[in-house]
Structure 1
Amino acid sequence: MALLWLLLLLALAGPVGGTWDSCRSTCGLRPMVLNESSAIPEYRSSDSANGTSLDVNPGTWTGIASIQVTLENGTWHMCSGTLISHRWVLTAARCFTTAEDVHKWKVVLGATDLAQPGREAEVFQIKRVLKHKNYDHDSERNNIALVELEQPVECSDYIQLGCVPDSSVAVAELKTCYIAGWRASPESAPGPRLVLQEAKVRLIDVQLCNSSRWYGGAVHPQELCAGYPRGGIDTCQGDSGGPLVCKDNTKEKFWLVGLASWGRGCARARRPGIFTSTQHFHAWIRAYTHPHPPKPSPTPAPTRHSPAPGTVPDISFPKRTLMQFLEKLQEMLELLRDRKG
């Protein structure tokens, strides 16, 4: 009995060490961008529009996902997304406008080189896709979708969660922002080799983006602009649904503020990237990823009889806590079995 109580305490305390063994209660706590130095390309007002992006190291963008489809001529990276819970990836609805069979699609997490994902990468089959019911393909309004995975994700140093900001976060005041996406490596041969790259960007006032010399009113209130007035750095083909993340101004936390949605051309002057604002859809996201929020347990009424001396009181645990305990117990039993063998 003492061993069981010890295992239960371990389950409640959570993992020990430098990694998380599940995706519970953590998001954006480790920087999705490790290198905040000037080495990451950033456009300055005196520069010409010739910005470039940099390859990233494994474990730098831990929440980013490659959404792929298998066709008769091979498997292809189609869009990007971000893991936001142990079963859900957030992406753009336009990625699935022609998707007839989701079973041909998959999600790859923890990879920086899609040609050589490495041992840290994980592949998940898609259970279902939930596009926003008001998504309009022509205007790209409400361009957001949730992808449910067949199996839950186990977090690691290479796979962690992105944080969707709620209404308490002043997104417009965030100063340090980044984009990432897969690009064909110039050294790749004989075929294209997609590697993850990143770049620093700035949030641009939507009113400026909607001015006559920019987008002329085409940007919707639920969208963000990010990039530089003279262009040079931008998202492009294959980046749809990809993350726009910004560092919190006071905490060591990164917010997933946008999903790459659309733009006119790539990296053109006065045509920055347009991103779906995740904050605007926070309630919609929670409605599906947290459909049954836990209710506070009522205070038990006093009983006439107290537990007998030496007995364990009858304690009711939430189902998730019990499942975590059983998983820990199974791991411990397997460890003891291996040692005895």
Structure 2
Amino acid sequence: MAGSTFGNIFKITTWGESHGKGVGVVVDGCPAGLSLCEEDIQKFLNRRKPGQSKFTTPRKEDDSVEILSGVFEGKTTGTPISLVVYNKNQQSKDYSEIASYYRPGHADYTFDMKYGFRDYRGGGRSSGRETIGRVAAGAIAVKILDQLGIRLITYSKSIGPIACDPRHFDAEEILKNPVYMPDADAAENAMAYLEACIAEQNSSGGVVECIISGVPAGIGDPVFEKLNANLAKAVMSIGAVKGFEIGDGFDVAKATGKNNNDAFRIGADGSVSKETNHAGGILGGMSDGSDIILRATIKPTPSISATQHTVNKSGEEIDINIKGRHDPIIVPRAVVVVESMAAVTIVDAMFANMSARMDSLERFYK
């Protein structure tokens, strides 16, 4: 299977299946000398692991990470970093029935059409557990960015019809509620909405927003390696993501040039800045020095207990009730996945940018 590697210089390759022995990632291109331990990565994995609330799958996994290579005496060595999380609570028998039919909203049918074979235990490579490798790699990327003064804040912007009120934004609130919303009132309403979805044997979608601050101007490229294009690919590669926006996103279709353009000005320190940020921090495929603002639209969990109509491999139309342990909403656990893929993309773009100018090379090598 091709397509499990992302990045040009800072590269990540995820591996493993949801009901195999384990899942993980190999990170190549990380510089030597970065302080790194398993706890640095575990903090990120704890944000996506299952069983944390009634709004996540009851599958009980510690998701404990082990560093197999690339770190010595608490520092990265510059060689590939291999990370593994062993699966310990698989219940493959829960999925034996679906081997004969195609679940609506899943990759069952497309896997069969492409390979003529599929791992039906939880979706195999299409399972949400594949994102463990992404998050482990993202923890390393975020640590690199942190040392460069670049910060990411990511949260659930909306769940179903419940959206955060920007006037009530409180970053400290994000980790205080199980739906990862920065608005306490919206979080309470979202949880009530999800309770109703569960009662109806249904699920919900939502939107994840990520704000990246401190990225200097000029990161990215003007044609095929546009920063916004690579961010879009990174985020859209997450299984549940169905839409992506930068800045004002789809609202620009209703705008005019007068109210969509961001006017430039000279700040008190003499630097160039913008009066507004409709562009979301990226112009012509390159960062402009302002906050990069992106959003990912997450679909409702396709595995629901309610009766659904489908077909089996014998060509018969049937009704099914999916069994197993599933999230009634993907959004809260996807927050750290979106953040991780954004961080990996920014690191890769910044590494590539080091060779963009002769004066940068001269400063480094002389």
With normalisation by structure 2, the TM-score equals: 0.24
TM-score, normalised with respect to structure 1: 0.25
**Greater fraction helix:** 2
Larger radius of gyration: 1
